[in-house]
């Protein structure tokens, strides 16, 4: 309901924000200032109903509705799309092993899968996609594999910068970036800077990240603020913690849906605070095999779920 008070209807003439490749700045950024400052786990931040219903009430709504639904596969309801989807991209190495290919091929196939999903998110009106690219725990993998992953990240960011700019995609990288090679750190900063004003879609890449790390670093920042007299420890509340979490870079910091591939039923230390009411979906296929059909299945399952938020 909070969004319905502050959300302005879309302009009549401008193309829809849901159309792929739209460069029209839409009104989502206005809602950033309207985010409730108190306990942020209230339904409005996670629910999709109010947000999308208003677009149908805007002028020219009927024409827009027909046009919009053509971009969605049968069965998916526009008004019930998750705003933020998170993915644990598991199974790249198993995929390579099962094909007698080197590990590198598994990760490269995984990167192709990611591009497909990003494209689908843009097409189907999902606003934010977070991907768990490299966990804090992954530093313990063999050095050769870690170096391979770092070089793949570098290459991926360099090669795809053009696509991010063209498709109006904002890229944010969260995690303990100080542990990354300096060249990669610089690349990340440049990419974030270059894409920071893009508004059609946000890709959050979690590298050297863990949910527990996120809470600890938020706590450290709050302790520092307390030291400098900016906040009293006793005044620390949920919204202050939210503001220090790395996902604060997003308009929609809490995933509505988390997908984990490769049939593993656990969260593996990804975004703990933010997943309080996230719907979890465990897909059997390995990440390089997770394509449109599987993604559709996950979204359809999400749309069947009844979200009660404890009520």
Partner 1 sequence: MERMVQIYGCLVSLLQKCIFRVLSVGPMPNHIAFIMDGNRRYSKRCNSMEGSVHKAGFSVLKTMLKYCYEFGVRYVTVYAFSIDNFKRNSEEVESLMDLMVEKIEGVLKEESNFNRYGIRIMFSGNLELLSQPVRLAAERAMLATANNSRAVFSVCVAYSSTDEILRAVRKSCEEKWDEITAFSLGGSEQDEMDHRIILTDIEKHMYMAAAPDPDIIMRSSGETRLSNFLLWQSSHCFLYSPSALWPEIGFRHFVWGILNFQRIHFYLDKKRKQL
Written as six digits, the tokens of 245 are: 């979490």
Nearer to partner 1, 150 or 280 (CB): 280
- The site string for partner 1 over 206-245 (x = CB under 8 A, - otherwise) reads ----xxx--xx-xxx-xxx-xx-----xx-xxx--x----
Nearer to partner 1, 4 or 212 (CB): 212
Give CA separation, 80 vs 71, 201, 203, 238, 304, in Å: 15, 17, 20, 27, 9
Considering the candidates 90, 160, 214, 256, report the single residue annotated as catalytic. 90
- The site string for partner 1 over 9-48 (x = CB under 8 A, - otherwise) reads --------------------------------x-------
Alpha-carbon gap, residue 116 to 292, rounded angstroms: 8
Instruction: Give yes or no for residue 59 binding partner 1 (CB under 8 A).
Output: no
Instruction: Give yes or no for residue 309 binding partner 1 (CB under 8 A).
Output: yes
Q: What is the 8-class DSSP label of residue 87?
A: E
Give CA separation, 188 vs 56, 104, 237, 293, in Å: 38, 22, 31, 31
Alpha-carbon gap, residue 80 to 303, rounded angstroms: 6
- The site string for partner 1 over 138-167 (x = CB under 8 A, - otherwise) reads --xx--------------------------
**Which range touches partner 1 (CB under 8 A), out of 65-73, 133-141, 163-171, 292-300?**
133-141
Residue labelled with tokens 């974030």: 192
Number of residues that bind partner 1 (CB under 8 A): 43
- A 10 A CB-CB count for 140 gives 8
Nearest approach in angstroms of CB 201 to partner 1 is 25
Alpha-carbon gap, residue 264 to 258, rounded angstroms: 13
Nearer to partner 1, 35 or 41 (CB): 41
Q: From 213, 218, 292, 252, select the one nearest 82 (Cα to Cα).
A: 252
CB 208 within 8 A of CB 136: yes
Nearest approach in angstroms of CB 33 to partner 1 is 23
Q: Does residue 160 have an active-site annotation?
A: no
- The site string for partner 1 over 243-282 (x = CB under 8 A, - otherwise) reads ---------------------xxxxxx--xx-xxxxxxxx
Give CA separation, 226 vs 39, 230, 237, 244, in Å: 20, 6, 13, 13
Catalytically active residues are: 90
By CB under 8 A, name the binding residues for partner 1.
41, 137, 140-141, 210-212, 215-216, 218-220, 222-224, 226-227, 233-234, 236-238, 241, 264-269, 272-273, 275-282, 305, 309-311
């Amino acid at each position: 309901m909070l969004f319905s008070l502050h959300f302005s209807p879309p302009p009549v003439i401008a193309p829809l924000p849901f159309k792929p490749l739209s460069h029209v700045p839409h009104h989502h950024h206005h809602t950033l200032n309207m985010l409730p400052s108190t306990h942020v786990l209230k339904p409005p931040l996670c629910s999709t109903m109010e947000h999308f219903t208003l677009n149908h009430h805007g002028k020219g709504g009927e024409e827009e509705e027909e046009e919009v639904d053509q971009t969605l596969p049968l069965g998916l309801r526009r008004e019930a799309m998750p705003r933020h989807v998170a993915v644990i991209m598991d199974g790249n190495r198993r995929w390579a092993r099962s094909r007698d290919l080197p590990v590198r091929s598994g990760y490269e196939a995984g990167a192709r899968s990611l591009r497909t999903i990003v494209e689908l998110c843009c097409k189907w009106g999902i606003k934010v996609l977070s991907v768990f690219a490299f966990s804090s725990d992954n530093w313990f993998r063999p050095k050769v594999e870690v170096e391979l992953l770092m070089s793949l990240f570098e290459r991926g960011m360099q090669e795809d910068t053009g696509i991010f700019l063209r498709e109006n995609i904002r890229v944010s990288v969260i995690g303990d970036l100080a542990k990354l090679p300096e060249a990669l750190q610089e690349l990340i900063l440049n990419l974030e800077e270059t894409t920071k004003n893009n508004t059609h879609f946000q890709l959050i890449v979690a590298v050297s990240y863990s949910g527990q790390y996120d809470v600890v670093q938020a706590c450290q920042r709050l302790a520092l603020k307390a030291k400098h007299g900016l906040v009293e420890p006793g005044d620390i509340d949920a919204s202050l913690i939210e503001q220090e979490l790395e996902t604060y870079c997003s308009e929609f910091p809490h995933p509505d849906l988390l997908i984990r591939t490769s049939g593993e039923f656990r969260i593996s230390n990804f975004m703990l605070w933010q997943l309080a009411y996230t719907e979890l979906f465990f897909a059997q296929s390995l990440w390089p095999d997770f394509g449109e059909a599987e993604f559709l299945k996950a979204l359809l399952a999400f749309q069947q779920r009844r979200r009660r938020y404890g009520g």
